[in-house]
Amino acid sequence: MAEACATRTHRRRANPAPAGFEDTWSVLIVPPPHLGAILAPSKMGAPSNTFQQKLDHVLVATDFSEASKGAVLYATSIARRNQSKLFVAHVVTSASESALMDGWRAGQTVITDNLIANRLDGIESELIVRQGEIWPVLAQLVTEKEIDLLVLGTRGRTGLRKLILGSVAERIFREASCPVLTVGPGVTAEEPEGPPRRILAATGFAPHSIFAVKYAATLAQHLDSSLAVVNVVTGDDDFSATKEAVRKEHLSRLRTVIPSEQSLRSQPALFVEFGAVPERILGIAREWKADLIVLGLHHVEEASKREMTWAKAYEIVRQAKCPVLTVRRPP
């Protein structure tokens, strides 16, 4: 087992930069190699045509609300298992200096609480407080810090559909270049015991959703987790065969989507459902007891399609009892 240094250091800049405040907390503990359980597969030794990713840098965005508390717990757990560097970011939308200072103090409290609870043992973390619009600031951090996974919490308000889907949530879904793990209001705000053991991927057979299935399959293989794949046939689908014939055809298509080279712990569970997409995906997630849902997203230019696409994704995030991982197919 690797030797661990018992000393912790806290480095604080006396004069913050004009763009905002950045504080670095370093925990000088070297975790033993066997603690590297991962959320995402490693790049090491991976063929170029696989969808594998090492989590070197994890970014969690927080507004210090109860909704973001669960996101911080999940991000901390993921960073610790992967020996990742954890960035805790708070964006102050007010231009006032007092709001910036309040955000800075609240961020320090989050870091201190996690240090006291020993959640940051073995990982390096950095607190970042900046002013500006939420998504532009987060997008800049994703690029600047070479973020591999963005973790968010959401309140899931139903009465603010236009505001939510027209601003932060929609822009993150549409524009995030890295995978996004969203911890919705239905997820218990407590630290997860380990990586996901039951992974559910959804596909409508479009390229971006097929990519999500392959991503989930690779994830399940590396985590030694169970995998399920669901396809929802909507009323908009044009078919003249009986429902049972359609189910049989779609089950056959699902089998071809899962990469043959994947070595999974068990045969994937396959589901073909009929009805509204969010409702049926959430129903299977509950029945199968999934602890992670994986969805594929892509850029949608047409305004008429944009609202429908992001509304479905956000509805799943809002009601899911487990975190939702959204991934984007590379160009």
Domains of the chain plus CATH, in order, are 8-183 (3.40.50.620), 198-328 (3.40.50.620)
CB 208 within 8 A of CB 329: yes
Q: Which residues pair with 296 in a beta bridge?
A: 327
Report the residue count for the chain: 331
Q: Give me the pLDDT at residue 142, please.
A: 95
What is the pTM assigned to this prediction? 0.81
All residues at 6 or more sequence positions from 89 whose CB lies less than 8 Å from its CB, including other chains: 59, 60, 61, 62, 128, 129, 130, 137, 138, 141
Tell me the pLDDT of the chain (331 aa) as tens digits.
332 222 233 333 333 444 444 443 333 323 333 223 335 443 333 333 344 557 899 999 998 888 788 899 999 999 988 889 999 999 998 899 999 999 999 989 988 888 878 888 888 999 999 999 988 999 999 999 999 999 998 775 544 343 344 457 667 877 888 999 999 888 987 888 889 999 999 999 999 899 999 999 999 998 999 999 999 998 755 555 688 889 999 999 999 998 887 788 889 999 999 999 999 999 999 999 999 999 998 765 543 444 446 678 888 988 999 999 999 887 7
Q: Give me the pLDDT at residue 213, please.
A: 95
Quick one: CA dihedral 114, 116, 122, 127, positive or negative? positive
Q: How far apart are CA 154 and CA 257, in angstroms?
A: 31
Q: Which of 184, 172, 161 is nearest to 297 (CA)?
A: 172
CB 284 within 8 A of CB 274: no
CB 158 within 8 A of CB 124: no
Q: Give me the pLDDT at residue 309, please.
A: 61
Which DSSP category does 95 fall into? Answer: -
Cα angle for residues 300, 196, 128 (degrees, 5° grid): 65
Grouping H, G, I as helix, E, B as strand and the rest as coil, residue 63 is: coil
Grouping H, G, I as helix, E, B as strand and the rest as coil, residue 188 is: coil
